[in-house]
Structure 1
Amino acid sequence: MRIRVVSSREEIFTLNPNERIVHLAFRPSNKDIFGLVETCPKIEVLQLPKSYMNTVSKSIEMFLQMQRVQLLEGDVWGHRKDICEYYAIPSSVMEKIQGMKIEGKATEEIEKRVSRESKLNPGMVAYIMTKEIPV
């Protein structure tokens, strides 16, 4: 699973329309988020760093809910945009989630443990569990 990292406003309009998970590494305005949803109609998750989450307006949160886009807090630890525009979630994380699901662990326990070990946000772990790993 890959997360598209966007580091500037200008980059929004050059995105592939099939992007499903996008991380904005800048403080987006309402206009930026509207542009993102328009450019990527299949978007499912918008991830923002914690410091930027506090500046998202309630109207944008409602807009994203109406568009069925999850707004998640989180970072892409150690990612270098100059090397690759995508942050790849390690396969070991996927295997860990799948193994815990097979063991019958509770969803909350999986989210908590995997997020602590992998530095992924619990919301992102929950999204991965619903989208990537059918058990």
Structure 2
Amino acid sequence: MKIRVVSSRNEIQELNPGEKVIHLAFRPSNKDIFTLVQRCPDVEVIQLPGSYRRTVSKSIEMFLEMQGIRLIEGDVWGHRKDINEYYTVSPTIKEKINALRDEGKSDSQIIEKLSRETKINEDMLIYILENE
């Protein structure tokens, strides 16, 4: 799975309209969120660092909920935007999920285990589990 990393509001207009998972590495305004949703109508997840997530207005949260877009907290650890505009979630994560499911583990047990072992937060793991 690829996460498109956007490091400034100027990049929003350059996004591929088919993007589904986007990480905003800047503190977005309400206008930035509206512009993003207009530019990328297929977006399913917007991820923000924790400190930025806490500053998002209730009206934007409600707007995204009505659009069926998840707003989650998280980081893209070790990503270098100058090298690649996408952060790739390792395919081994899906392999681990499948192995744990084969062992009979519940989704909550899988999320708990993988969130400890990886640097992927629980909300993103839930999204990956649901879209596996």
User: So what's the TM-score if we normalise by structure 2?
Assistant: 0.98
Hey, what's the Cα distance between the residues in 2 that align with 1:102 and 1:112? 16
TM-aligned CA deviation for residue 126 of structure 1: 0.8
* Alignment size in residue pairs: 132
Summarize the alignment of residues 91-110 of structure 1 with structure 2, pairs less than 5 Å apart.
Answer: 91-110=91-110
Give the gaps of 5 or more residues in structure 1: none
- Give the letter aligned to residue 126 of structure 1: I
TM-aligned CA deviation for residue 10 of structure 1: 0.5
Aligned twin of 1:56: 56
Aligned twin of 1:45: 45
Kindly report the root-mean-square deviation, in angstroms, between the aligned alpha carbons of the 2 structures.
0.7
TM-aligned CA deviation for residue 100 of structure 1: 0.8
Hey, what's the Cα distance between the residues in 1 that align with 2:46 and 2:100? 26
Give the gaps of 5 or more residues in structure 2: none
Hey, what's the Cα distance between the residues in 1 that align with 2:4 and 2:102? 29
Aligned twin of 1:3: 3
TM-aligned CA deviation for residue 84 of structure 1: 0.2
Hey, what's the Cα distance between the residues in 1 that align with 2:124 and 2:80? 20
- Give the letter aligned to residue 32 of structure 1: D
Hey, what's the Cα distance between the residues in 1 that align with 2:15 and 2:116? 31
Which moves more between the two structures, 113-122 or 74-83?
Answer: 113-122
Q: Deviations over 1:64-92 (max 9, x none)?
A: 00000001100000000000000000111
Q: Deviations over 1:21-50 (max 9, x none)?
A: 000000000000000000000000000000
Hey, what's the Cα distance between the residues in 1 that align with 2:8 and 2:61? 21
Aligned twin of 1:19: 19
TM-aligned CA deviation for residue 18 of structure 1: 0.4
Summarize the alignment of residues 71-86 of structure 1 with structure 2, pairs less than 5 Å apart.
Answer: 71-86=71-86
- Give the letter aligned to residue 25 of structure 1: A
